[in-house]
Structure 1
Amino acid sequence: MLMKNRPAFAIGEEPLGKIRGHYIELYLDVERLYPPMLRRPAYPASLETRKGIEKHTNELLDMDFIRKIGHNEIVEITTPVLITWIEGKSRLCGDFRALNNYPKADRYPIPRITHALEKLEKAKYITKMNCMKGFHQNVVKPNSIKLLRIICHMSIYEYTRMPFGIKKTPAHFQRIMDTTF
């Protein structure tokens, strides 16, 4: 299976692929009034946090997951949040709380960990496959990109790949996994 699907796998520093045929689209709920301008100034950040934001932003730019946009555009923007784990690893997420009030919810079921563990109960072999930067392997439709903008001390950027922090992305990604594997 691995050799047959070799182009689907990134090893080490290889560029990530794109999940074909699955795009995320953020539909604004038409039952509500138009959303307020979702503009936010960049959050104040410590030197250490700014360095982490710079590192992740440059990585996302190099992989074409975000792109820089002009400062003079009238845009709906949010701020990035650097999430750091105990092991010292970090991830850049957008603070999309205001935006998350508007898209219609995706009610696709997320599997419960207990159900997954029950399936493994009598397994003789267990294989693990990790979707490296999983959400980022899904391309965002062009008309949704304008909603996925972040501002930091460096500039304003917009995501071209599915970001972390959007309410409906876990269900959307689970649907992709269920139809792909």
Structure 2
Amino acid sequence: MHGKIRILGIAGSLRQGSYNRAALQAALSLAPQDALLEVFDISDIPPFSEDLEQRPPVKVLELKQRTRAADAILFVTPEYNYSIPGVLKNAIDWGSRPYGDNAWDGKPVGIMGASIGMLGTARAQYHLRQCCVFLNMYPLNQPEVMIATAGSKFDLEGNLTDQHSREKISQLLVALVDWTRKLGSKSE
């Protein structure tokens, strides 16, 4: 796998001022030289319905096209009720349907998240990893980026000011690029 690695970043929060959207914005500035990180906004994806899966909405077609064009995926997830948000699960479901047309298939994945709690989205990230199993995605195991007590790590404009968190995101992106190249070289 030669050239820049194309990473599609997806934040699992719809709130404009969310810490996870802000963490994804920080990742944009921390991406290594040999990567191109692009963001896909899932806010306009309608609720999944099998009635529509044979003729999916335009935003779903765009999600699947951009997913397929990417070399890797970066999920940035909040944690709601010990799990991933419904809007993120909805986007994942749309990307995998109809059965046999899974746009996520074989994609390397980086996972990170931010929360105001002490666990920094640990449970949501582990649940997201379970989803990756069935979808035949390859999540990177380390480093883990779990930004706990996020209210103290971002400024009022949404900039990630915590140096440790910035370093962990940078390490995750470098590792994701390496992981993507390693998996790509096995399939060539």
Give the TM-score taking structure 2 as reference length: 0.26
The answer to which structure, 1 or 2, has the higher relative contact order (CA under 8 A, 6+ apart) is: 1
More helix by share: 2
Give the TM-score taking structure 1 as reference length: 0.27
| Bigger radius of gyration among the two | 1
